[in-house]
Chain A
Protein backbone atom coordinates (compact mmCIF):
# COMPACT_ATOMS: atom_id res chain seq x y z
CA UNK A 1 0.00 0.00 0.00
CA UNK A 2 2.78 2.41 0.97
CA UNK A 3 6.26 1.94 -0.35
CA UNK A 4 9.04 4.27 0.76
CA UNK A 5 12.40 3.88 -0.95
CA UNK A 6 15.69 5.51 0.01
CA UNK A 7 14.07 8.60 1.42
CA UNK A 8 16.40 11.32 2.69
CA UNK A 9 15.79 14.73 4.15
CA UNK A 10 18.18 17.05 5.93
CA UNK A 11 17.83 20.43 7.60
CA UNK A 12 21.24 22.02 7.21
CA UNK A 13 23.70 19.67 8.85
CA UNK A 14 20.98 17.67 10.54
CA UNK A 15 20.09 14.50 8.68
CA UNK A 16 16.48 14.05 9.82
CA UNK A 17 15.69 11.21 7.44
CA UNK A 18 18.54 9.07 6.18
CA UNK A 19 17.99 6.61 3.39
CA UNK A 20 14.73 5.33 4.84
CA UNK A 21 13.00 2.43 3.12
CA UNK A 22 9.75 1.17 4.53
CA UNK A 23 6.80 -0.84 3.27
CA UNK A 24 3.37 -0.74 4.87
CA UNK A 25 1.20 -3.65 3.73
CA UNK A 26 -2.48 -3.23 3.04
CA UNK A 27 -4.72 -3.98 5.99
CA UNK A 28 -1.95 -3.96 8.56
CA UNK A 29 -1.13 -1.69 11.46
CA UNK A 30 2.48 -0.68 11.16
CA UNK A 31 4.03 1.07 14.14
CA UNK A 32 6.93 3.46 13.92
CA UNK A 33 8.82 3.84 17.16
CA UNK A 34 12.01 5.52 18.18
CA UNK A 35 13.43 7.92 20.73
CA UNK A 36 12.48 11.61 20.76
CA UNK A 37 14.06 13.47 17.90
CA UNK A 38 14.49 10.33 15.82
CA UNK A 39 12.64 11.94 12.91
CA UNK A 40 9.29 10.18 13.18
CA UNK A 41 7.16 13.28 12.68
CA UNK A 42 9.49 14.44 9.92
CA UNK A 43 8.88 11.16 8.12
CA UNK A 44 5.10 11.44 8.59
CA UNK A 45 5.26 15.01 7.26
CA UNK A 46 7.05 13.86 4.11
CA UNK A 47 4.48 11.16 3.49
CA UNK A 48 1.62 13.61 4.01
CA UNK A 49 3.30 16.27 1.90
CA UNK A 50 3.94 18.90 4.57
CA UNK A 51 7.65 18.46 3.88
CA UNK A 52 9.38 17.60 0.62
CA UNK A 53 12.14 14.99 0.80
CA UNK A 54 15.54 15.74 -0.71
CA UNK A 55 15.69 12.40 -2.45
CA UNK A 56 14.02 9.01 -2.63
CA UNK A 57 10.56 7.94 -3.64
CA UNK A 58 7.20 7.19 -2.07
CA UNK A 59 4.61 5.06 -3.83
CA UNK A 60 1.09 4.96 -2.48
CA UNK A 61 -1.57 2.69 -3.87
CA UNK A 62 0.45 2.31 -7.05
CA UNK A 63 0.92 6.02 -7.71
CA UNK A 64 3.94 8.26 -7.27
CA UNK A 65 3.02 10.16 -4.13
CA UNK A 66 5.67 12.86 -4.46
CA UNK A 67 4.06 14.00 -7.71
CA UNK A 68 0.79 14.55 -5.87
CA UNK A 69 0.32 17.96 -4.14
CA UNK A 70 -0.19 17.68 -0.38
CA UNK A 71 -3.82 18.84 -0.47
CA UNK A 72 -4.70 16.11 -2.99
CA UNK A 73 -3.30 13.30 -0.89
CA UNK A 74 -6.30 13.11 1.48
CA UNK A 75 -8.52 12.78 -1.61
CA UNK A 76 -6.39 9.83 -2.70
CA UNK A 77 -7.00 8.18 0.67
CA UNK A 78 -3.91 9.23 2.58
CA UNK A 79 -4.81 11.08 5.77
CA UNK A 80 -2.74 12.17 8.74
CA UNK A 81 -3.46 13.23 12.28
CA UNK A 82 -1.29 15.61 14.24
CA UNK A 83 0.83 15.08 17.30
CA UNK A 84 0.05 18.61 18.42
CA UNK A 85 -3.72 18.99 18.39
CA UNK A 86 -4.82 21.04 15.42
CA UNK A 87 -8.55 21.58 15.26
CA UNK A 88 -10.66 24.58 14.20
CA UNK A 89 -11.07 26.24 17.61
CA UNK A 90 -14.22 28.33 17.07
CA UNK A 91 -16.11 25.60 15.21
CA UNK A 92 -18.36 23.16 16.97
CA UNK A 93 -17.10 19.60 17.18
CA UNK A 94 -19.65 18.63 14.54
CA UNK A 95 -18.52 21.41 12.20
CA UNK A 96 -14.91 20.32 12.53
CA UNK A 97 -15.90 16.91 11.23
CA UNK A 98 -18.40 18.41 8.78
CA UNK A 99 -15.66 20.50 7.20
CA UNK A 100 -13.65 17.36 6.47
CA UNK A 101 -16.69 15.64 4.97
CA UNK A 102 -17.32 18.72 2.83
CA UNK A 103 -13.75 18.70 1.56
CA UNK A 104 -13.77 15.02 0.71
CA UNK A 105 -17.12 15.45 -1.07
CA UNK A 106 -15.51 18.18 -3.19
CA UNK A 107 -17.85 20.84 -1.88
CA UNK A 108 -15.25 23.41 -0.89
CA UNK A 109 -16.48 26.01 -3.36
CA UNK A 110 -20.20 25.74 -2.71
CA UNK A 111 -20.99 29.40 -2.33
CA UNK A 112 -24.73 29.06 -1.88
CA UNK A 113 -25.31 25.77 -0.05
CA UNK A 114 -25.89 26.66 3.59
CA UNK A 115 -23.31 25.09 5.88
CA UNK A 116 -25.68 24.35 8.72
CA UNK A 117 -28.50 22.65 6.88
CA UNK A 118 -26.94 19.65 5.16
CA UNK A 119 -28.73 16.79 6.91
CA UNK A 120 -26.75 14.05 5.17
CA UNK A 121 -23.51 15.63 6.29
CA UNK A 122 -24.87 16.07 9.80
CA UNK A 123 -25.85 12.41 10.04
CA UNK A 124 -22.45 11.29 8.77
CA UNK A 125 -20.65 13.58 11.19
CA UNK A 126 -22.75 12.40 14.11
CA UNK A 127 -22.01 8.78 13.25
CA UNK A 128 -18.29 9.50 13.32
CA UNK A 129 -18.60 11.38 16.62
CA UNK A 130 -20.50 8.42 18.02
CA UNK A 131 -17.67 6.08 17.06
CA UNK A 132 -15.02 8.34 18.53
CA UNK A 133 -16.88 8.91 21.78
CA UNK A 134 -17.65 12.57 21.14
CA UNK A 135 -21.40 12.36 20.55
CA UNK A 136 -22.17 14.28 23.73
CA UNK A 137 -19.89 17.12 22.69
CA UNK A 138 -21.19 17.55 19.12
CA UNK A 139 -22.41 21.09 19.77
CA UNK A 140 -19.49 22.23 21.94
CA UNK A 141 -16.92 24.59 20.55
CA UNK A 142 -13.71 22.69 19.89
CA UNK A 143 -11.64 25.14 21.94
CA UNK A 144 -13.73 24.35 25.02
CA UNK A 145 -12.98 20.62 24.93
CA UNK A 146 -10.72 18.95 27.46
CA UNK A 147 -7.32 17.98 26.12
CA UNK A 148 -8.17 14.31 25.75
CA UNK A 149 -11.35 15.17 23.87
CA UNK A 150 -9.43 17.39 21.49
CA UNK A 151 -7.22 14.39 20.78
CA UNK A 152 -10.35 12.35 20.06
CA UNK A 153 -11.58 15.08 17.73
CA UNK A 154 -8.26 14.99 15.93
CA UNK A 155 -8.88 11.28 15.28
CA UNK A 156 -12.50 11.91 14.34
CA UNK A 157 -11.39 14.42 11.70
CA UNK A 158 -8.92 11.94 10.28
CA UNK A 159 -11.52 9.17 10.17
CA UNK A 160 -14.06 11.51 8.55
CA UNK A 161 -11.82 11.58 5.49
CA UNK A 162 -12.46 7.83 5.12
CA UNK A 163 -8.77 7.04 4.70
CA UNK A 164 -7.24 4.02 3.05
CA UNK A 165 -4.03 4.74 4.89
CA UNK A 166 -4.10 6.58 8.18
CA UNK A 167 -0.93 8.24 9.44
CA UNK A 168 -1.33 8.63 13.18
CA UNK A 169 1.24 10.83 14.86
CA UNK A 170 1.16 9.98 18.57
CA UNK A 171 -2.63 9.80 18.80
CA UNK A 172 -2.51 8.90 22.50
CA UNK A 173 -0.27 11.82 23.51
CA UNK A 174 -1.78 13.50 26.55
CA UNK A 175 -4.75 11.17 26.78
CA UNK A 176 -5.94 9.71 30.04
CA UNK A 177 -5.82 5.95 30.64
CA UNK A 178 -9.52 5.53 29.92
CA UNK A 179 -9.44 7.60 26.70
CA UNK A 180 -6.32 5.84 25.58
CA UNK A 181 -7.96 2.48 26.09
CA UNK A 182 -11.05 3.58 24.16
CA UNK A 183 -8.96 4.80 21.26
CA UNK A 184 -7.01 1.53 21.22
CA UNK A 185 -10.34 -0.30 20.98
CA UNK A 186 -11.43 1.99 18.16
CA UNK A 187 -8.21 1.49 16.22
CA UNK A 188 -8.44 -2.25 16.75
CA UNK A 189 -11.92 -2.19 15.25
CA UNK A 190 -10.48 -0.55 12.12
CA UNK A 191 -7.92 -3.29 11.67
CA UNK A 192 -8.24 -4.90 8.27
CA UNK A 193 -10.29 -2.06 6.75
CA UNK A 194 -7.95 0.84 7.35
CA UNK A 195 -4.22 0.51 6.95
CA UNK A 196 -2.32 2.46 9.59
CA UNK A 197 1.11 3.84 10.12
CA UNK A 198 1.23 4.58 13.82
CA UNK A 199 3.77 6.69 15.63
CA UNK A 200 3.42 6.11 19.35
CA UNK A 201 5.46 6.26 22.53
CA UNK A 202 3.15 4.13 24.63
CA UNK A 203 4.71 0.68 24.21
CA UNK A 204 1.66 -1.12 25.60
CA UNK A 205 -0.41 0.40 22.82
CA UNK A 206 2.22 -0.31 20.20
CA UNK A 207 2.67 -3.93 21.14
CA UNK A 208 -1.06 -4.57 21.45
CA UNK A 209 -1.91 -2.99 18.08
CA UNK A 210 0.97 -3.37 15.69
CA UNK A 211 1.38 -6.15 13.16
CA UNK A 212 4.83 -4.90 12.33
CA UNK A 213 7.14 -2.40 13.95
CA UNK A 214 9.88 -0.25 12.49
CA UNK A 215 12.41 1.40 14.74
CA UNK A 216 13.75 4.78 13.73
CA UNK A 217 16.88 6.12 15.40
CA UNK A 218 18.61 9.31 14.29
CA UNK A 219 16.81 9.32 10.98
CA UNK A 220 17.68 5.72 10.16
CA UNK A 221 15.52 2.63 10.30
CA UNK A 222 17.49 0.16 12.38
CA UNK A 223 14.94 -2.65 12.33
CA UNK A 224 11.57 -3.63 10.86
CA UNK A 225 9.99 -6.79 12.17
CA UNK A 226 7.16 -8.42 14.11
CA UNK A 227 6.55 -7.17 17.66
CA UNK A 228 8.09 -10.29 19.18
CA UNK A 229 11.22 -10.01 17.11
CA UNK A 230 11.55 -6.28 17.83
CA UNK A 231 11.23 -6.93 21.54
CA UNK A 232 14.13 -9.36 21.33
CA UNK A 233 16.27 -7.19 19.06
CA UNK A 234 19.54 -6.17 20.67
CA UNK A 235 20.00 -2.93 18.68
CA UNK A 236 16.53 -1.80 19.61
CA UNK A 237 17.11 -2.56 23.25
CA UNK A 238 20.27 -0.51 23.12
CA UNK A 239 18.57 2.44 21.53
CA UNK A 240 15.77 2.34 24.05
CA UNK A 241 17.54 1.31 27.22
CA UNK A 242 20.07 4.06 26.84
CA UNK A 243 23.15 1.86 27.03
CA UNK A 244 24.41 3.62 23.95
CA UNK A 245 25.83 6.83 25.39
CA UNK A 246 24.55 9.00 22.50
CA UNK A 247 21.00 8.11 23.37
CA UNK A 248 21.05 8.88 27.03
CA UNK A 249 18.74 11.89 26.81
CA UNK A 250 16.07 9.92 24.96
CA UNK A 251 13.67 7.13 25.66
CA UNK A 252 12.18 8.40 28.92
Chain B
Protein backbone atom coordinates (compact mmCIF):
# COMPACT_ATOMS: atom_id res chain seq x y z
CA UNK B 1 0.00 0.00 0.00
CA UNK B 2 1.17 3.53 -0.75
CA UNK B 3 1.06 6.50 1.55
CA UNK B 4 -0.67 9.70 0.48
CA UNK B 5 2.80 11.20 0.18
CA UNK B 6 3.06 9.25 -3.07
CA UNK B 7 0.00 10.95 -4.54
CA UNK B 8 1.92 13.47 -6.68
CA UNK B 9 3.96 10.65 -8.21
CA UNK B 10 0.75 8.70 -8.77
CA UNK B 11 -0.84 11.73 -10.46
CA UNK B 12 2.22 12.15 -12.69
CA UNK B 13 2.19 8.50 -13.68
CA UNK B 14 -1.54 8.58 -14.39
CA UNK B 15 -1.18 11.75 -16.45
CA UNK B 16 1.68 10.21 -18.42
CA UNK B 17 -0.34 7.08 -19.07
CA UNK B 18 -3.32 9.10 -20.33
CA UNK B 19 -1.05 11.18 -22.57
CA UNK B 20 0.67 8.23 -24.24
CA UNK B 21 -2.44 6.05 -24.31
CA UNK B 22 -3.30 6.71 -27.98
CA UNK B 23 0.20 5.65 -29.03
CA UNK B 24 0.03 2.49 -26.95
CA UNK B 25 -3.37 1.62 -28.33
CA UNK B 26 -2.29 2.32 -31.91
CA UNK B 27 0.88 0.31 -31.46
CA UNK B 28 -1.11 -2.54 -29.97
CA UNK B 29 -3.34 -2.46 -33.02
CA UNK B 30 -6.32 -1.60 -30.81
CA UNK B 31 -6.95 1.97 -31.86
CA UNK B 32 -10.68 1.28 -31.67
CA UNK B 33 -10.16 1.56 -27.90
CA UNK B 34 -9.32 5.26 -28.25
CA UNK B 35 -13.06 5.79 -28.24
CA UNK B 36 -13.27 3.96 -24.91
CA UNK B 37 -10.41 6.06 -23.57
CA UNK B 38 -12.29 9.19 -24.59
CA UNK B 39 -15.36 7.94 -22.77
CA UNK B 40 -13.13 7.34 -19.77
CA UNK B 41 -11.96 10.93 -19.47
CA UNK B 42 -15.47 12.27 -20.10
CA UNK B 43 -16.95 9.90 -17.55
CA UNK B 44 -14.22 10.89 -15.10
CA UNK B 45 -15.26 14.56 -15.36
CA UNK B 46 -18.83 13.59 -14.48
CA UNK B 47 -17.73 11.33 -11.63
CA UNK B 48 -15.35 13.89 -10.11
CA UNK B 49 -18.10 16.52 -10.25
CA UNK B 50 -20.49 14.17 -8.45
CA UNK B 51 -17.90 13.43 -5.77
CA UNK B 52 -17.80 17.15 -4.95
CA UNK B 53 -21.34 16.57 -3.71
CA UNK B 54 -21.22 13.05 -2.29
CA UNK B 55 -17.72 12.84 -0.91
CA UNK B 56 -16.85 16.40 -0.08
CA UNK B 57 -20.18 17.86 1.02
CA UNK B 58 -22.08 14.76 2.09
CA UNK B 59 -24.89 15.39 -0.40
CA UNK B 60 -25.99 12.09 -1.91
CA UNK B 61 -27.35 13.35 -5.19
CA UNK B 62 -29.09 10.65 -7.19
CA UNK B 63 -29.96 12.76 -10.19
CA UNK B 64 -26.61 13.86 -11.46
CA UNK B 65 -27.15 12.45 -14.95
CA UNK B 66 -29.80 15.15 -15.41
CA UNK B 67 -27.11 17.81 -15.81
CA UNK B 68 -25.08 15.49 -18.00
CA UNK B 69 -28.16 15.24 -20.20
CA UNK B 70 -28.78 19.00 -20.22
CA UNK B 71 -25.22 19.64 -21.40
CA UNK B 72 -25.58 17.02 -24.10
CA UNK B 73 -28.94 18.37 -25.28
CA UNK B 74 -27.59 21.93 -25.55
CA UNK B 75 -25.02 20.59 -28.00
CA UNK B 76 -27.57 18.38 -29.76
CA UNK B 77 -30.31 21.00 -30.09
CA UNK B 78 -27.94 23.69 -31.41
CA UNK B 79 -26.51 21.20 -33.91
CA UNK B 80 -30.03 20.20 -34.96
CA UNK B 81 -31.07 23.80 -35.68
CA UNK B 82 -27.83 24.46 -37.47
CA UNK B 83 -28.56 21.51 -39.74
CA UNK B 84 -32.19 22.48 -40.27
CA UNK B 85 -31.29 26.16 -40.59
CA UNK B 86 -33.97 27.08 -38.07
CA UNK B 87 -33.93 28.97 -34.80
CA UNK B 88 -34.45 27.98 -31.19
CA UNK B 89 -35.89 30.66 -28.85
CA UNK B 90 -34.91 33.20 -31.47
CA UNK B 91 -31.31 32.04 -31.77
CA UNK B 92 -29.72 30.35 -34.75
CA UNK B 93 -28.38 26.86 -34.31
CA UNK B 94 -24.62 26.58 -34.32
CA UNK B 95 -21.72 24.17 -34.21
CA UNK B 96 -19.25 26.79 -33.02
CA UNK B 97 -17.57 25.15 -30.06
CA UNK B 98 -16.57 28.42 -28.45
CA UNK B 99 -20.26 29.27 -28.14
CA UNK B 100 -21.76 25.83 -27.66
CA UNK B 101 -19.50 24.48 -24.92
CA UNK B 102 -19.65 27.51 -22.59
CA UNK B 103 -23.40 27.69 -23.20
CA UNK B 104 -23.77 24.03 -22.23
CA UNK B 105 -21.95 24.75 -18.98
CA UNK B 106 -24.03 27.85 -18.22
CA UNK B 107 -27.37 26.21 -18.98
CA UNK B 108 -26.63 23.10 -16.94
CA UNK B 109 -25.49 25.38 -14.10
CA UNK B 110 -28.82 27.18 -14.41
CA UNK B 111 -30.73 23.89 -14.18
CA UNK B 112 -28.62 22.96 -11.15
CA UNK B 113 -29.45 26.30 -9.57
CA UNK B 114 -33.19 25.76 -9.96
CA UNK B 115 -33.20 22.08 -9.01
CA UNK B 116 -30.70 22.64 -6.20
CA UNK B 117 -32.65 25.59 -4.77
CA UNK B 118 -35.62 23.27 -4.28
CA UNK B 119 -33.90 19.96 -3.52
CA UNK B 120 -31.53 21.40 -0.94
CA UNK B 121 -34.46 22.33 1.25
CA UNK B 122 -34.60 18.63 2.10
CA UNK B 123 -32.04 16.40 3.76
CA UNK B 124 -30.92 12.79 3.92
CA UNK B 125 -33.07 10.23 2.18
CA UNK B 126 -35.54 12.93 1.04
CA UNK B 127 -32.72 14.68 -0.78
CA UNK B 128 -31.84 11.42 -2.52
CA UNK B 129 -35.46 10.93 -3.56
CA UNK B 130 -36.04 14.48 -4.74
CA UNK B 131 -32.87 14.58 -6.84
CA UNK B 132 -33.88 11.23 -8.33
CA UNK B 133 -37.31 12.68 -9.13
CA UNK B 134 -35.91 15.77 -10.80
CA UNK B 135 -33.64 13.56 -12.87
CA UNK B 136 -36.58 11.50 -14.02
CA UNK B 137 -38.61 14.64 -14.73
CA UNK B 138 -35.91 15.79 -17.11
CA UNK B 139 -35.76 12.32 -18.63
CA UNK B 140 -39.47 12.47 -19.46
CA UNK B 141 -39.15 16.07 -20.60
CA UNK B 142 -36.58 14.99 -23.20
CA UNK B 143 -38.72 11.99 -24.16
CA UNK B 144 -41.58 14.39 -24.83
CA UNK B 145 -39.52 16.63 -27.11
CA UNK B 146 -40.85 15.15 -30.35
CA UNK B 147 -39.08 17.76 -32.45
CA UNK B 148 -35.78 16.48 -31.13
CA UNK B 149 -36.49 12.82 -31.73
CA UNK B 150 -38.43 12.11 -28.55
CA UNK B 151 -37.58 8.65 -27.28
CA UNK B 152 -35.08 7.99 -30.02
CA UNK B 153 -33.00 11.11 -29.57
CA UNK B 154 -31.21 12.70 -32.50
CA UNK B 155 -28.04 12.43 -34.52
CA UNK B 156 -25.63 15.28 -35.11
CA UNK B 157 -25.54 14.92 -38.89
CA UNK B 158 -22.87 17.53 -39.46
CA UNK B 159 -20.44 16.03 -37.00
CA UNK B 160 -18.85 17.46 -33.93
CA UNK B 161 -18.53 21.09 -32.82
CA UNK B 162 -16.08 23.26 -34.65
CA UNK B 163 -13.14 24.97 -32.99
CA UNK B 164 -10.43 27.19 -34.42
CA UNK B 165 -7.22 25.27 -35.23
CA UNK B 166 -8.24 21.96 -33.62
CA UNK B 167 -10.28 19.46 -35.59
CA UNK B 168 -12.54 17.65 -33.16
CA UNK B 169 -13.65 15.21 -35.84
CA UNK B 170 -10.22 13.63 -35.68
CA UNK B 171 -10.60 11.03 -32.98
CA UNK B 172 -7.10 11.35 -31.53
CA UNK B 173 -7.37 15.14 -31.47
CA UNK B 174 -10.75 14.80 -29.82
CA UNK B 175 -9.30 12.47 -27.20
CA UNK B 176 -6.61 15.02 -26.34
CA UNK B 177 -9.18 17.80 -26.30
CA UNK B 178 -11.27 15.90 -23.76
CA UNK B 179 -8.15 14.99 -21.79
CA UNK B 180 -7.11 18.66 -21.60
CA UNK B 181 -10.56 19.67 -20.37
CA UNK B 182 -10.50 16.85 -17.86
CA UNK B 183 -7.08 17.98 -16.61
CA UNK B 184 -8.29 21.56 -16.24
CA UNK B 185 -11.44 20.46 -14.42
CA UNK B 186 -9.45 18.16 -12.16
CA UNK B 187 -7.02 20.95 -11.29
CA UNK B 188 -9.95 23.27 -10.59
CA UNK B 189 -11.54 20.75 -8.23
CA UNK B 190 -8.20 20.06 -6.57
CA UNK B 191 -7.93 23.73 -5.80
CA UNK B 192 -11.57 24.02 -4.79
CA UNK B 193 -11.58 21.26 -2.18
CA UNK B 194 -8.48 22.73 -0.54
CA UNK B 195 -9.83 26.26 -0.59
CA UNK B 196 -11.54 28.11 2.22
CA UNK B 197 -14.84 27.29 0.59
CA UNK B 198 -13.79 23.63 0.48
CA UNK B 199 -13.17 23.78 4.20
CA UNK B 200 -16.70 25.06 4.71
CA UNK B 201 -18.03 22.13 2.67
CA UNK B 202 -16.07 19.67 4.80
CA UNK B 203 -17.43 21.29 7.94
CA UNK B 204 -20.99 21.05 6.61
CA UNK B 205 -20.47 17.35 5.88
CA UNK B 206 -19.25 16.70 9.41
CA UNK B 207 -21.47 18.94 11.51
CA UNK B 208 -24.03 20.90 9.55
CA UNK B 209 -26.02 21.94 12.64
CA UNK B 210 -23.04 23.82 14.05
CA UNK B 211 -22.74 26.08 11.00
CA UNK B 212 -25.57 28.48 11.83
CA UNK B 213 -24.05 29.28 15.21
CA UNK B 214 -20.78 30.35 13.60
CA UNK B 215 -22.55 32.50 11.06
CA UNK B 216 -22.59 30.21 8.04
CA UNK B 217 -25.76 29.40 6.17
CA UNK B 218 -25.25 25.81 4.96
CA UNK B 219 -27.95 26.19 2.31
CA UNK B 220 -26.02 28.86 0.37
CA UNK B 221 -22.77 26.91 0.45
CA UNK B 222 -24.51 23.70 -0.61
CA UNK B 223 -26.29 25.51 -3.43
CA UNK B 224 -23.02 26.91 -4.77
CA UNK B 225 -21.32 23.50 -4.83
CA UNK B 226 -24.45 21.96 -6.36
CA UNK B 227 -24.28 24.49 -9.19
CA UNK B 228 -20.55 23.92 -9.68
CA UNK B 229 -21.06 20.14 -9.76
CA UNK B 230 -24.00 20.52 -12.14
CA UNK B 231 -21.92 22.67 -14.45
CA UNK B 232 -19.17 20.05 -14.38
CA UNK B 233 -21.61 17.30 -15.30
CA UNK B 234 -23.03 19.52 -18.05
CA UNK B 235 -19.55 19.98 -19.47
CA UNK B 236 -19.06 16.21 -19.45
CA UNK B 237 -22.43 15.77 -21.18
CA UNK B 238 -21.53 18.31 -23.86
CA UNK B 239 -18.33 16.38 -24.56
CA UNK B 240 -20.20 13.09 -24.62
CA UNK B 241 -22.68 14.45 -27.18
CA UNK B 242 -19.73 15.47 -29.32
CA UNK B 243 -18.10 12.11 -28.81
CA UNK B 244 -21.05 9.99 -29.89
CA UNK B 245 -22.55 12.65 -32.19
CA UNK B 246 -25.85 11.53 -30.79
CA UNK B 247 -28.05 12.60 -27.89
CA UNK B 248 -31.02 10.76 -26.41
CA UNK B 249 -33.10 10.88 -23.22
CA UNK B 250 -31.23 7.76 -22.09
CA UNK B 251 -28.34 10.02 -21.04
CA UNK B 252 -30.47 11.39 -18.21
CA UNK B 253 -32.06 8.12 -17.13
CA UNK B 254 -31.74 7.35 -13.42
CA UNK B 255 -29.61 4.30 -14.18
CA UNK B 256 -27.00 6.69 -15.57
CA UNK B 257 -27.09 8.61 -12.30
CA UNK B 258 -26.63 5.24 -10.64
CA UNK B 259 -23.63 4.45 -12.85
CA UNK B 260 -22.00 7.74 -11.85
CA UNK B 261 -22.67 7.03 -8.21
CA UNK B 262 -21.23 3.52 -8.52
CA UNK B 263 -18.10 4.94 -10.14
CA UNK B 264 -17.65 7.42 -7.28
CA UNK B 265 -18.20 4.85 -4.53
CA UNK B 266 -16.13 2.23 -6.32
CA UNK B 267 -13.24 4.65 -6.72
CA UNK B 268 -13.44 6.12 -3.24
CA UNK B 269 -15.62 8.99 -2.06
CA UNK B 270 -14.03 12.13 -0.73
CA UNK B 271 -11.04 11.83 -3.06
CA UNK B 272 -10.58 13.26 -6.53
CA UNK B 273 -8.39 10.57 -8.03
CA UNK B 274 -10.71 7.84 -6.68
CA UNK B 275 -13.59 8.55 -9.05
CA UNK B 276 -11.13 8.69 -11.95
CA UNK B 277 -9.87 5.21 -11.05
CA UNK B 278 -13.48 4.18 -10.55
CA UNK B 279 -14.35 5.33 -14.06
CA UNK B 280 -11.33 3.47 -15.40
CA UNK B 281 -12.26 0.16 -13.75
CA UNK B 282 -15.95 0.59 -14.56
CA UNK B 283 -15.32 1.08 -18.28
CA UNK B 284 -12.67 -1.65 -18.30
CA UNK B 285 -15.10 -4.18 -16.85
CA UNK B 286 -17.91 -2.96 -19.09
CA UNK B 287 -15.68 -3.27 -22.15
CA UNK B 288 -13.91 -6.53 -21.42
CA UNK B 289 -16.25 -8.68 -19.33
CA UNK B 290 -18.42 -9.55 -22.36
CA UNK B 291 -15.29 -10.22 -24.43
CA UNK B 292 -13.79 -12.45 -21.75
CA UNK B 293 -16.98 -14.48 -21.45
CA UNK B 294 -17.17 -14.71 -25.22
CA UNK B 295 -13.62 -16.12 -25.35
CA UNK B 296 -14.51 -18.58 -22.62
CA UNK B 297 -17.53 -19.67 -24.62
CA UNK B 298 -19.89 -18.69 -21.82
CA UNK B 299 -22.54 -17.10 -23.98
CA UNK B 300 -25.13 -16.74 -21.26
CA UNK B 301 -22.72 -14.72 -19.12
CA UNK B 302 -21.58 -12.78 -22.18
CA UNK B 303 -25.15 -11.68 -22.64
CA UNK B 304 -25.69 -10.99 -18.93
CA UNK B 305 -22.24 -9.75 -17.98
CA UNK B 306 -23.74 -7.39 -15.44
CA UNK B 307 -24.53 -10.42 -13.29
CA UNK B 308 -20.81 -10.73 -12.70
CA UNK B 309 -20.15 -7.00 -12.83
CA UNK B 310 -22.44 -6.31 -9.87
CA UNK B 311 -20.81 -8.73 -7.40
CA UNK B 312 -17.34 -7.48 -8.36
CA UNK B 313 -18.40 -3.93 -7.48
CA UNK B 314 -19.96 -5.13 -4.24
CA UNK B 315 -16.80 -7.00 -3.25
CA UNK B 316 -14.58 -3.99 -3.87
CA UNK B 317 -16.83 -1.67 -1.92
CA UNK B 318 -17.19 -4.24 0.86
CA UNK B 319 -13.50 -4.91 1.33
CA UNK B 320 -12.09 -1.49 0.66
CA UNK B 321 -13.55 1.16 2.90
CA UNK B 322 -12.75 4.03 0.58
CA UNK B 323 -12.99 2.01 -2.60
CA UNK B 324 -10.07 1.59 -4.95
CA UNK B 325 -8.40 4.61 -3.40
CA UNK B 326 -8.43 2.88 -0.03
CA UNK B 327 -6.94 -0.25 -1.62
CA UNK B 328 -3.98 1.72 -2.92
CA UNK B 329 -3.46 4.48 -0.40
CA UNK B 330 -3.26 4.56 3.33
CA UNK B 331 -4.78 7.75 4.73
CA UNK B 332 -2.33 10.07 6.41
CA UNK B 333 -2.65 10.39 10.21
Contacts and interface: CB of A to CB of B under 8 A. Distances in A.
Given A71-B211, A91-B206, A103-B200, 12 more contacts: A50-B213, A71-B216, A75-B215, A86-B207, A91-B199, A108-B197, A108-B200, A109-B221, A110-B197, A111-B192, A115-B194, A157-B214
Given A74-B215, A103-B215, A157-B214, A111 B195 contact: yes
A82 B211 CA distance: 12
A108 B212 contact: no
B217 interface: yes
B221 A108 contact: yes
B102 to A, nearest CB: 18
Contacts of A107: 196
Contacts of A49: 212
Given A71-B217, A161-B215, A113 B200 contact: no
Interface in A70-94: 70-75, 79-80, 82, 86-91
Contacts of B191: 111-112, 114
Interface residues of A, number: 39
B202 interface: yes
Contacts of A87: 207, 210
Contact of A89 (B192, B198, B207, B214): B207
A109 B218 CA distance: 11
Interface residues of B, number: 25
Interface string B71-82: 000000000000
B195 A71 contact: no
Interface of A: 48-50, 69-75, 79-80, 82, 86-91, 95, 98-100, 102-104, 107-116, 118, 157, 161
A88 B197 contact: no
Contacts of B224: 109
Contacts of A104: 214-215
Contact of A70 (B197, B203, B212, B221): B212
Contacts of A91: 199, 202-203, 206
A108 B196 contact: yes
7 contacts: A69-B217, A86-B209, A86-B210, A88-B203, A110-B195, A111-B191, A161-B214
B213 A90 contact: no
A103 B200 CA distance: 9
Nearest to A50: B212
A17 to B, nearest CB: 19
A115 B195 contact: yes
Contacts of B199: 91, 95, 98-99, 102, 115
A103 B195 contact: no
B195 A113 contact: yes
B194 A114 contact: yes
Interface in B163-199: 191-192, 194-199
Contacts of B210: 82, 86-88
B197 A111 contact: yes
Nearest to B206: A88
Across the A-B interface, give the 9 residue pairs with the lowest CB-CB distance, nearest first: A74-B215, A71-B217, A110-B196, A115-B199, A103-B215, A70-B212, A100-B214, A86-B210, A111-B197
A108 B216 contact: yes
A11 B230 CA distance: 40
Contacts of B221: 108-109
A116 B212 CA distance: 23
